[in-house]
Each structure stands twice: as structure tokens, then as C-alpha cells.
């Protein structure tokens, strides 16, 4: 079966990109990364792409006079590579509603919180401030409003008493890598339907009944 032609959009370090590269390298992967795009020249993730032999390009938003023309360049490049799915992996530009509509149900994003809680930046700081015992990460289809859209996979990550934003971010990142490749594999295997803006997964494996934090 043909593999799902995927693009990964990054702005920085690219550890989530690496998780997707590793998944796509596995024998039974149903997706292939055709292209990595960065809006930031010199982003560390670009080296990960070249090490994996994947085409990468920089489309620097600063070279465009407005969002529309930047996004036109993105779309043109994505279409040149016949991309069928766009993964936002730490891509730090907001996308306009017309871009999101054009690529409807073809863009997924990873966010480091259990959405709809803690949308936007600094989610770990805010989770710590709120005193919640769990946070986590979410992979979701992208809609025009920031950090919204049908949720594909989430992981709950416990917050420990001694956590600071950095230690928490490091723990959540481990879950992000797992969630993102899991979501990509579900989509690539055509196991997902979106009905009334909710994701239905074919034959999902159920997790435990509940998780306790702190444990007794």
C-alpha cells in the first residue's frame, strides 16, 4: 500500500520531528516524510532531516510582507511534494483560517498540555501555577482557533511536587514523542474518522480505569 505522504513543519529543536522520523523508518510504518519545512533558518531540526536523508527547506516568514504570502509559499511547496498530511511539530507560527480551511483535516499539531486546558504558550508554567496533579500532551487536528480541533491522542503526565517548568517539560516531551508517532500511525493506517468534530478510532486499545497522583 502507498505510504501517506507527510510533511513536518518545525521552528526549532525538532525532537518531535525525530520521533516521527524514527516511526517512519520502522518497517511497518504506513507514512513517509517527504519534506521538512522550517520557518527558522538554522533550526536544529533541519540537521535531523538531513541526517535522515529527508528533503528540507527553509521558508522564512520574515521574507514575506504578510501571512497570506508566507502561507502561499508553504502551500506551493507542500503541493510540489504531493503532501497529504502536515504535522506541526513545534512550528511557532499561527496559521490563518484560510490556510487551515484549505488543508482541512490534513493538519495535525502537538501541544504540551491536556487540551482544552492551558492552550497557548507557557503551558507548563501555568499548569504548575494551577496546582493540577496531571498535565500531559495532545495531538489534534488543527482548526482556525489556536490549539483547538478534534483530539486524536492524549497522554496524561503526573506533576511531581518538586517539578519546575523545565523538569515538567522534559517529562511531557517523552510522552509527546510517543503520542505524535501513535497519532501519525493511526492516520496513516486509515483508522480514524472525524464525526461531529470528534475523532473515532477503529479498534482502540483501552487504557487503565484511572491513574492516581500521588499514589497511596
- Kindly identify the residues of this chain, within the stretch 115-134, that bind ligand GRF according to CB under 6 A: none
Judged by CB under 6 A, which stretch of 11-19, 77-85, 93-101, 187-195 contacts ligand GRF? 11-19
Give the separation between CA 182 and CA 203, rounded to whole angstroms: 14
Which of these, 169, 103, 104, lies nearest to 137 by C-alpha position? 169
Q: What nine digits make up the cell of 13?
A: 529543536
Report the residue number, 72 or 128, with the smaller CB distance to ligand GRF.
Answer: 128
- Kindly identify the residues of this chain, within the stretch 166-205, that bind ligand GRF according to CB under 6 A: 173, 176
> Measured at CB, which residue is nearest to ligand GRF?
90
16 binds ligand GRF (CB under 6 A): yes
Cell numbers 486499545: residue: 205
8 binds ligand GRF (CB under 6 A): no
Catalytic residue among 61, 104, 111, 177: 111
Are 178 and 20 in contact by the 8 Å Cβ rule? The answer is no
Rounded least distance, CB 160 to ligand GRF, Å: 18
Cell numbers 508554567: residue: 125
Give the separation between CA 107 and CA 139, rounded to whole angstroms: 10
- Which residues, 6+ apart, have CB-to-CB distance to 195 below 8 Å? none
Which of these, 182, 179, 200, lies nearest to 191 by C-alpha position? 200
Strand ranges for 59-215 from DSSP E: 85-88, 107-111, 134-141, 151-158, 192-195, 198-201
Strand 107-111 and strand 198-201: the pairing is unpaired
What is the 8-class DSSP label of residue 14? -
Report the residue number, 44 or 132, with the smaller CB distance to ligand GRF.
Answer: 44
- Say whether 177 is catalytic: no
71 binds ligand GRF (CB under 6 A): no
- Kindly identify the residues of this chain, within the stretch 27-56, that bind ligand GRF according to CB under 6 A: 45
Judged by CB under 6 A, which stretch of 34-42, 106-114, 152-160, 200-208 contacts ligand GRF? 106-114
Q: Which of 90, 136, 149, 150 binds ligand GRF (CB under 6 A)?
A: 90
Report the residue number, 4 or 155, with the smaller CB distance to ligand GRF.
Answer: 155
- Interface positions with ligand GRF (CB under 6 A): 10, 12-16, 45, 89-90, 110-112, 173, 176
Which residues form the catalytic set?
Answer: 111
Amino acid at each position: 500500500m502507498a505510504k501517506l505522504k507527510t510533511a513536518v513543519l518545525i521552528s526549532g529543536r525538532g525532537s518531535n520531528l525525530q520521533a516521527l522520523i524514527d516511526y517512519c523508518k520502522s518497517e511497518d510504518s504506513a507514512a513517509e516524510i517527504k519534506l521538512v519545512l522550517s520557518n527558522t533558518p538554522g533550526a536544529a531540526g533541519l540537521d535531523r532531516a538531513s541526517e535522515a536523508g529527508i528533503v528540507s527547506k527553509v521558508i522564512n516568514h520574515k521574507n514575506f510582507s504578510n501571512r497570506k504570502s508566507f502561507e502561499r509559499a508553504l502551500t506551493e511547496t507542500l503541493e510540489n511534494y504531493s503532501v497529504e498530511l502536515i504535522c506541526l511539530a513545534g512550528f511557532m507560527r499561527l496559521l490563518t483560517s484560510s490556510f487551515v480551511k484549505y488543508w482541512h483535516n490534513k493538519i495535525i499539531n502537538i501541544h504540551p498540555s491536556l487540551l482544552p486546558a492551558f492552550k497557548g504558550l507557557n503551558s507548563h508554567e501555568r499548569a504548575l501555577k494551577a496546582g493540577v496533579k496531571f498535565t500531559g500532551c495532545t495531538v489534534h487536528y488543527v482548526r482556525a482557533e489556536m490549539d483547538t480541533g478534534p483530539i486524536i491522542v492524549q497522554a496524561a503526565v503526573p506533576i511531581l511536587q518538586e517539578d519546575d517548568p523545565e523538569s515538567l517539560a522534559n517529562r511531557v516531551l517523552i510522552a509527546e514523542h510517543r503520542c505524535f508517532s501513535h497519532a501519525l500511525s493511526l492516520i496513516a493506517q486509515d483508522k480514524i474518522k472525524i464525526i461531529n468534530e470528534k475523532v473515532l478510532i477503529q479498534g482502540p486499545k483501552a487504557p487503565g480505569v484511572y491513574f492516581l497522583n500521588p499514589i497511596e
